Every structure is written in C-alpha cells, then in structure tokens.
Structure 1
Amino acid sequence: MYEPYPTPDLARDHKKFRYSSLWTFAKQDLRLLVFLLVIGGFIGLGVGYFWVGLCIAFSIFFAFQLRSLYLVNEWISNRPYEAPPNLDGIWGALLFNVYRAQRQERVVQAEMVGLIDRAQSSLVALAEAVVLTDELHQIEWWNPAAEKLLGIQPLDRGRNLLTIIRQPSFIDYFNHIDKSPDGIKIKSSVFEEHYVQIKLTRFGSESRLLLAYDVTRIHNLEQMRKDFVDNISHELRTPLTVLSGYIETFTDQEDLNPRWKRAFDQMHSQTRRMNALVNDLLLLSRLEGNKQIAKNQIIEMPSLMNQLFDDAQAYNVDYGHTLNLDIDSHCDLIGSDTELASAFSNLITNAIKYTPKGGTVTIGWHDDGEHGYFTVQDTGIGIDPKHLPRLTERFYRVDSARSRQTGGTGLGLAIVKHVLMQHAAYLEVESKENQGSTFKVVFPKERLYNPDESLNSFEL
C-alpha cells in the first residue's frame, strides 16, 4: 500500500492554501518587490544613483524568481516523488497544488491497484477456469483452474487460444459467439470422459474473456435421464399395444353391459393418452440425439401451410372455430420438413384445444427481409404472464386439470423448442388471460429461401 511522504512546511497549513485566493500568494511577491524597491531607492538616493538603485533592486527580485523557478524545475525533473521545496508566493502555491494533486492521484492509483489485486486474487481462487485473450486472440492471463481444466501451461502465454483448444466445435463457436449465447459443451482434452462448458464474452475491440467449468456430472446425469426415458418409452410400447388391442376388442362387443362399456371407454381413452405420451417422449429423445443431422431441405411454405390448414380443419370439427390462413411471404424455409411440420402442428392444435368453442384461430407465414415468422393467433383462454418463461419445460402445465381434460402430454412445447433450436429459430409468446395468445416462431435470414431471387439469378 502507498506510504505517505513527509509533509513539508508549505503543505502543513493546507486549509489556508486550499481556501485562499491566488491574490493572497501574489501579495507576498508584491510585498517583497516593494520592499526591495524601497531599499534600493533609498540607497540610490544616498549615493546619487536613484534609478540604478531601483534596477539593482528589481534585478535582485528577478534573481529570487529565477531561483524559485530553478527549484521548481529541479523538483519536477529529478525528485517528483519527494516533498517539494518550501517556497513562498505564487511559486509556493503552484508547488502546493501540484503536490496535492500528485498525492491524490497516488491515493487513487493505490486504491485501484489494491482493487485489481483483490479481483485477481478472487479469480485465482475460482474453481471455474478464466482466460483473457488480447485482440489477436493470444493468451494474456489465466487462473490455476484453467491449467487443470484446459491444460494451459506457463509456456502458452502469448499463444493463440485456438492452437490450444482445437476442437472444431469450439473453433466454430469462437468465430460465431452470437449463435450460441449459452456457450458450448466440449469434451475435455485433459481428462478422458470429462466435459467442459465454455462461455466466451467479447470486450474491448476483439479481446475475449473465457469462462469454463466442469459439467461432467451434469452431463452424466442428463445422459442417464435420456437413456432412462428412451428405454422406458420403448418398454412401454409393447404392453400398451397389447392393452389397447384387448380394450378395443371388448369395447366393440355389441352385447357388452353398459356399465362395463363406460369403463372400457375410459380405459381406451387413457391408453390412447399413454400412447401419445410415449410417442412424444420417443420423439423428444430422437430430437435430442439428432442435433448433428443436417437440416437443409427446401420446404415449400405455401404447400406446407395449406397442408397444416387442412389438418387443422379436420381437428377443428369438434370445436367449431373459425380458422384463417394468412400467407404474405414468398420465402420458403430451409430445414427438416417433418420436424417443422410436427412443431407447427403442436402450436396449431394447442391453439384449437385451449380456445373455447366458436373462437378464431389464425395461422400465418410472413417475412420482413431479415426474419421469417410462423404465427398462430387465437382468441382463447390466454396465459398468465408469470407462466410464460416456463412454457417450454417438459411436463410444465399452466392448468393441470384443463390439460387432463384436453388430453395433453405436457411435452408439445418442449418438442417445439428442440425443433426450433436445431433450426436456429426461437419462440416468442404474447398472451393475456381471457384475451387470447399469439405464438410466433422467428427464423433467421439464413433459413429463408426465396425461389424468385434464385430464378432471377439463374436467368442472369
């Protein structure tokens, strides 16, 4: 920590110097000049050379000023960190102000150094890896956890980060940070069967801050969950198929007792619901496992929208809603037709199911040149805003009783989220209770395909 320097006589009475005006200090020089001129004048009169005496007095005053200037220059040039010389007059005021500003700057500098030291000490103590790179992506600083998790060694200072973490997925993430706002999970190059979550943040012009932490346990638990769901879903399909077959057989008996018929109808309804749940679980598991499959089909949106509209009309028979189709975009989509059709259908059937009979559901496809928008707007029961952040969680239900009545599995929007993530798209929801909802799927420009522009380019 900074140690204060000895306080000179000039600085001891700091209150007087702080609140006095410059005229106060100038008067000291003026008094000295007047004193010298009076003495010189009297001596000059005595010897008969009045003006010569005044010139000599003024020369002596000028010599005092030159001496003060010399002392100020010598202090600033050679001893700026020591106490300044004790001078009177304007030069003393100048030295005091310089010295006070210098001390204040040193105090602030010492505080900043202390703050940086504490921040660096806290980063060193973190279990998460922290790495700083410069504008050329060369490593400037790292904490001990980075050596353990990422294998960075002292000799790596000044090396390009991409020569140390060389996985293709990380290099792609490094060059396109904005495409993965939550970071990326990669396999550790230091420990086998270990996984590291990495998050990059830009600062300055091209400098980057890297944060990384071990997610092996979370990865293993997630893999166990996926394996369990996948296996249990497959195991349930066979007994459910058998049960459904026998229940349908008994239900079709014409001489079945009405009391039993009601029971079998309920059993048949519940087995259908369980089958839907198992199918959704298997679909979700497949989507999670197929993240690397290319989604590069060109989907003719007018054809897909008309197909979705026809399916919606068939589903709408029991609800009696007014269905509208609104297409004002000439762009097609690049992606997986089956996955997107499944996601869009989920949004449409939800709108139909959760809208009271006689409502209105509008299905739309639009673009603004930068994004494509698939929308489903309804006049249904709406959703309390507090539920919106959790809508795409598995098995999350806004109203469990209503979901059971409509036969929902609680996985529809989770499936939608996974499909959209694999197409670099996202879901926006606007809703108010008893005023309806609008579900908007936003696709980036890279996922849009304009056949008219392609045809024009071909003709050229």
Structure 2
Amino acid sequence: MSLHRAGRYREFVLVVCVGLLLFAWGVWIDHPALALLCGLVSYLLWHMHNLHRLSLWLDDPKHHEPPSALGGWGEIVHAVEALRERGRKRKRKLSRMLSGFHQSTNALPDATVVLNDRGQVEWWNSAASKIFGFRKKRSSDRSLEELIPDPMFRKYLAQGDYSQPLQMPGPLDHKRTLEVRIVPYGKGKRLLQARDVTRLQQLEIVRRDFVANLSHEMRTPLTVIHGYLETLNDAEDPEFSPWCHIINQMYQQTTRMQRIVEDLLLLARLEREDAPQRDEPVDVALLLTTIQSEAEALSGDQHHHIELEIVDDYRLLGVERELDSAFSNLVFNAVRYTPAGGLIRMRWERTEQGACFSVTDSGIGIDPEHIPRLTERFYRVDVARSRRSGGTGLGLAIVKHVLTRHCGELQVESEPGKGSRFSCLFPTSRVLAEGHGEASVYPTTRSRQSS
C-alpha cells in the first residue's frame, strides 16, 4: 500500500472511530443526532481551517506553515512540495541557460538588441553598449527610434522589409560604418544585429581604386601595342609573312585585353557613383535598333536571325550610355552563346509593374546552379567557349550595376539545350510616354521586326 493510500485509509478509520464514539456519547446523553452533527461541524471547520492555512502557505511559504499533514492533507502538502521542487529545478535550469545565453552574446563582437512587439528595447549585449551607447537605466524599455535617431535607420525600421541589410554611419562615431540587420521572430518581436564593417568598406575602396588605377594605367600602353600590332597585321610586306599568324594572335589578345580594361573602368565608374548624375528620356526603340545592327555585324558569317520587336514605344528615364552598355551586353552574349543560324529575339514592352526589355535566344542554355552567380565578376559558365568568343566575364556584372542604378532588376530564365531569356525590369516611375516628360499610359501599340 502506498503512502497516499495509507494516509487516506488512516483518515477514514479515524473518522469512523470518532463517529462511533460520538454516536455512543449521544446515545448516553439521549441525543445521538446532535452529537453526530457537532462532530460533522467540527470536521468541516477543521477542513476550512486547513484550506485557509493552505492558501497562506501557497502565497508565502517562507512565513506560514503548511496545513496539518493528517489524512488527505498530507497528500496535498506532499504534491505541492514536489511541484515546487520541480519548479525550482526548472527555474535553476532556465537561469543557467539564460546566463549562458547572456555570456555567449556578450562575447560576440557584433551588437545584438532584442525588441519587444512595441519596438522597445528589452535587452542588449555589451557590444551594443559600445556601438550604440546604450545604458541600463537610460535605454531600457525605450523606443529604438529614440535611441538611434538616424533618419536612414528610422526609414529602414519603419518600412518592414528587412530582406537586405542597411549600411549606416555609427551613432557615436560617424567615421565608422555599421551594417544593420533586423530579424523578426515570435509574435511581433525583432532581433537587431549590427556589425562594424568600416574595415571591410575601406578594403573594398582600396580594391576598387586599385582596379580602376591599374586599368587606367594599362590603357595607354595597351593602346600603343595594339596600334603597332594592327599596323603590322595589315601590312602586306612579304617579309612579315612568316610572322603573320603570331602577329594576328597577339593582335586578338590585345583586343581582348582592351575590352577587359574598358569593362573594368566602366565597372569602377558605376561603383563610384551611387546614382546617375542626370537622367534624361532615352529613346529605347532607336537605341535597340542600333544594337540590333551591331549584333548582326558581330554575328557575321554565323548568320543568326536577330529579331527586334517594339511592342510599346515608350521612352525610359535614365542615362543612355549606361543603358546602351547593359542592353548591348545582353544581346552580344546571346550572339556569342547561340549556335550559327540560331534565333535571337529582342523585345521592348510595357508591363503592369513598368517596362521590360528582354533578350531570348535558342542557345546552349544554362544549368540552374550557375544562374545565381552569373552577375559575379569574371564568372563564366563555359570558360573555354567564353575565351574563344572574346567574352570578358564582366558583361553581366555591368548589367547588374546599371540596372541597380536605374532601380531595375535582372531576371534570368534558362534551360540547358533550350536557350535562355534575360529580362531587364524597370519600375513605372522610369517609364515615359513617347514625347512626354512624365510617366503616362497610352493605348498605342506597334510591332517592328527584322532579321
């Protein structure tokens, strides 16, 4: 028999014995019912007294004793003690986990701030105190906008789209650059992480300046070498006939190096300038017509079928030189990677989101694993083919930078063996009706094709 059952059994025996004694005493005084009623009332009062003691004990166990452990009350006291012990163990475990979490986050070099569902600061690590200047008494339970009054940060915090990190000057030292990332979690809560990327930014500037300066310095000697090789290559002197093949190869390689230098210089300029200095209406139809002629010349004896379709003749607000570079890179890539006689279709049209220029080819296609890396510098899917065709590996990087500067987006759809489709998407704010200076929608639609 368990201790709980034994306690209940003893209470039952005690109640029966006391009841019999009270009944016997009542018979002796000739009032058995009254004697039993007095016993029942006393039993109920005893239980009520124990209930009161239990309530006091549960509220403040340090200053009040538990109820009598007789009978079923012993089971209740034992169960409460067991629950309290489990609670104390769980509390100690959670305390150790919380302490470990605080120690680990305080050891991180990046700032970590926990925000509640009202945007107030609940907790932060020591790095956040150094980077943002948070103090316990001054910063706790205050809005993050009050503690970091930077307008750029406030706009980022309010927009609710945290898919991309924000780079902002440090609130304590404006010479430092912080990369801030916000991660929503739970019910309306957010976790803010900030890291000092000043050193990385400085290294990126050094790298960019180095590439730009090196490309600029290489430009002049390459031009001289290329010019002499062109003269020798065009010379009809029979004395040069044994060297014609070598001179021609040198000429082709210097031509390729010139293209690389020009692309590097263009990329450096695009990276230095955050946005186009002056936007003007660009006649996209005329621009694409010129690119089509250049693509046909590049195709040469491969006889690609190059079609141009102008579905909606809208102008685009931007820099014509940059847009020409982006569009021509896409078209020329299609020429290089499409077999002879293949089809290349250029299309300019209005969409619900703005406007779209797309290049579709019947070329070799691209495996899905390569698509996310296509816009990286010098990344090539087929290195040997790219070199043979004269590609520099910088074309799509230039396209990405130009589209970013024009608030655009590059989308790639491709399937190996079935060709590719590269689409440049522009927002409505940059689409202009022909001959107008503001974005408008007109029902005119025309199509123009050539091959």
Tell me if TM exceeds 0.5. Answer: yes
Aligned positions of 1:280-429 closer than 5 A: 280-293=263-276, 296-299=279-282, 304-325=287-308, 333-365=316-348, 369-370=352-353, 373-429=356-412
Q: Is the 8 A contact 1:84 1:99 kept in 2?
A: no
Aligned positions of 1:152-301 closer than 5 A: 152=134, 156-157=138-139, 161-162=144-145, 165=148, 168-176=151-159, 178=161, 181-184=164-167, 186-188=168-170, 190=172, 193-203=175-185, 208-256=190-238, 257-293=240-276, 296-299=279-282
Q: Is the 8 A contact 1:359 1:379 kept in 2?
A: yes
1:164 to 1:78, Cα distance in 2 relative to 1, 3 A:
closer
Please state how far the C-alpha of 1:355 moved relative to its aligned partner.
Answer: 1.6
Q: Deviations 1:355-380 (Å, cap 9, x if unpaired)?
A: 22222333345666346544333232
Gaps of 5+ in 1: 1-12
Please state how far the C-alpha of 1:80 moved relative to its aligned partner.
Answer: 7.5
Corresponding position of 1:146: 128
Looking at structure 2, the residues matched to 106 and 367 of structure 1 have their Cα atoms a distance apart, in angstroms, of 67
Please state how far the C-alpha of 1:140 moved relative to its aligned partner.
Answer: 4.5
Please state how far the C-alpha of 1:287 moved relative to its aligned partner.
Answer: 0.3
Q: Is the 8 A contact 2:276 2:319 kept in 1?
A: no
Pairing partner for 1:54 from 36, 43, 46? 36
Helix, strand or coil at the partner of 2:303: coil
Q: Deviations 1:325-351 (Å, cap 9, x if unpaired)?
A: 456668765443432332222122112
Please state how far the C-alpha of 1:406 moved relative to its aligned partner.
Answer: 0.5
Corresponding position of 1:37: 19
Looking at structure 2, the residues matched to 371 and 411 of structure 1 have their Cα atoms a distance apart, in angstroms, of 27
Looking at structure 1, the residues matched to 410 and 402 of structure 2 have their Cα atoms a distance apart, in angstroms, of 11
Looking at structure 2, the residues matched to 363 and 287 of structure 1 have their Cα atoms a distance apart, in angstroms, of 25
Q: Deviations 1:195-225 (Å, cap 9, x if unpaired)?
A: 3333333456776533222323322222222
Q: Is the 8 A contact 1:131 1:210 kept in 2?
A: yes
How many residues are aligned here? Answer: 438
Looking at structure 2, the residues matched to 147 and 367 of structure 1 have their Cα atoms a distance apart, in angstroms, of 51
Looking at structure 2, the residues matched to 89 and 445 of structure 1 have their Cα atoms a distance apart, in angstroms, of 81
Looking at structure 2, the residues matched to 75 and 155 of structure 1 have their Cα atoms a distance apart, in angstroms, of 36
Which piece of structure 1 moves more, 164-173 or 275-284? 164-173
1:300 to 1:100, Cα distance in 2 relative to 1, 3 A:
farther
Letter in 1 for 2:101: A
Looking at structure 2, the residues matched to 234 and 422 of structure 1 have their Cα atoms a distance apart, in angstroms, of 23
Q: Is the 8 A contact 1:177 1:200 kept in 2?
A: no
1:42 to 1:429, Cα distance in 2 relative to 1, 3 A:
same
What is the TM-score with the length of structure 1 in the denominator?
Answer: 0.79
Helix, strand or coil at the partner of 2:161: helix
Looking at structure 2, the residues matched to 293 and 156 of structure 1 have their Cα atoms a distance apart, in angstroms, of 43
Please state how far the C-alpha of 1:454 moved relative to its aligned partner.
Answer: 5.4
Looking at structure 2, the residues matched to 329 and 250 of structure 1 have their Cα atoms a distance apart, in angstroms, of 48
Which piece of structure 1 moves more, 311-320 or 243-252? 311-320
Pairing partner for 2:48 from 66, 78, 88? 66
Please state how far the C-alpha of 1:66 moved relative to its aligned partner.
Answer: 2.0
Looking at structure 2, the residues matched to 361 and 90 of structure 1 have their Cα atoms a distance apart, in angstroms, of 90
Residue 105 (str. 1) matches residue 109 (str. 2): no
Q: CA RMSD in A?
A: 3.8
Please state how far the C-alpha of 1:269 moved relative to its aligned partner.
Answer: 1.7
Which piece of structure 1 moves more, 314-323 or 110-119? 314-323
1:369 to 1:106, Cα distance in 2 relative to 1, 3 A:
farther
Looking at structure 2, the residues matched to 313 and 156 of structure 1 have their Cα atoms a distance apart, in angstroms, of 69
Q: Is the 8 A contact 1:173 1:180 kept in 2?
A: no
Please state how far the C-alpha of 1:309 moved relative to its aligned partner.
Answer: 4.3
What is the TM-score with the length of structure 2 in the denominator?
Answer: 0.80
Corresponding position of 1:124: 106
Please state how far the C-alpha of 1:133 moved relative to its aligned partner.
Answer: 4.6
Q: Is the 8 A contact 1:138 1:157 kept in 2?
A: no
Aligned positions of 1:437-456 closer than 5 A: 437-443=420-426
Give me the identity figure in percent: 36
Helix, strand or coil at the partner of 1:117: helix
Letter in 2 for 1:253: A
Q: Is the 8 A contact 2:414 2:420 kept in 1?
A: yes
Corresponding position of 2:447: none
Q: Deviations 1:29-73 (Å, cap 9, x if unpaired)?
A: 655544443333333333332322332332233233223322222
1:311 to 1:155, Cα distance in 2 relative to 1, 3 A:
farther
Please state how far the C-alpha of 1:282 moved relative to its aligned partner.
Answer: 0.6
Helix, strand or coil at the partner of 1:247: helix
Helix, strand or coil at the partner of 1:178: coil
Q: Is the 8 A contact 1:39 1:57 kept in 2?
A: no
Q: Is the 8 A contact 1:321 1:352 kept in 2?
A: yes
